[in-house]
Chain A
């Protein structure tokens, strides 16, 4: 158990709908990362928050947004869903943000499996 908690574990929704994925980081971790993993692709970085502020952005669609709350949990909002959005969405956390000389180990949750029909 990594200590990163994600809900829901599975979600089936229709095209055009909106869903929210939730993540609780490991105790004490300030950074939260969101990744997408499709069947034919590796893990793709979406976005990072550090202590409530957006820190880095990857290949995140405009239809997707995220935020990190004062209690450090994070939500990923996916709207106007398309069939191609079906994927595993992972949340990960680490203790630090960026600019750290040593490697900053990132721990992953078990993922939220989204199926768009």
Chain B
């Protein structure tokens, strides 16, 4: 069964404490892996698209990487404003719809 699994479900970090979020997927014909950030009651905000294994993308304190089975979102020296739910989604086969994982709730404290 096609699946996207994110871990951990929740993560609490102190400001400046770097960590990584994981997204593993079991789909055929991956065309893109997407990372979104979602604040409570808001729509998902696009962060990155990764297309092939070995690819990396960076934006401020965030860096996304992709292998053939999983993706990592590395957060370096996080700040409280990085607190949000981070969603991973895949686009595969001939469909353009996204299939989402259930997200990682990140809380960064002072």
Q: Tell me the A residues contacting B by CB distance below 8 Å.
A: 2, 4, 31, 33, 41-43, 45, 48, 55-56, 58, 88, 90, 94, 96-111, 113
CB nearest neighbor in B for A106: B98
Q: Which residues of A contact B28 (CB under 8 A)?
A: none
Interface locus among B10-18, B19-27, B40-48, B74-82:
B40-48
A contact face: mostly helix, strand, loop, or mixed? loop
Q: Which residues of A contact B51 (CB under 8 A)?
A: 102-103
Cross-chain contact A99 with B94 (CB below 8 angstroms): yes
A17 to B41: give the CA distance in the assembly, Å. Answer: 24
CB nearest neighbor in B for A113: B41
A111 to B38: give the CA distance in the assembly, Å. Answer: 12
Sample (30) of A-B pairs whose CB atoms are under 8 Å apart: A2-B45, A4-B43, A31-B96, A33-B97, A41-B102, A42-B100, A42-B102, A42-B103, A43-B87, A43-B89, A48-B97, A56-B95, A56-B97, A97-B96, A98-B95, A99-B94, A100-B31, A101-B31, A102-B32, A103-B32, A103-B33, A103-B51, A103-B91, A104-B32, A104-B96, A106-B34, A108-B36, A108-B44, A110-B42, A110-B43
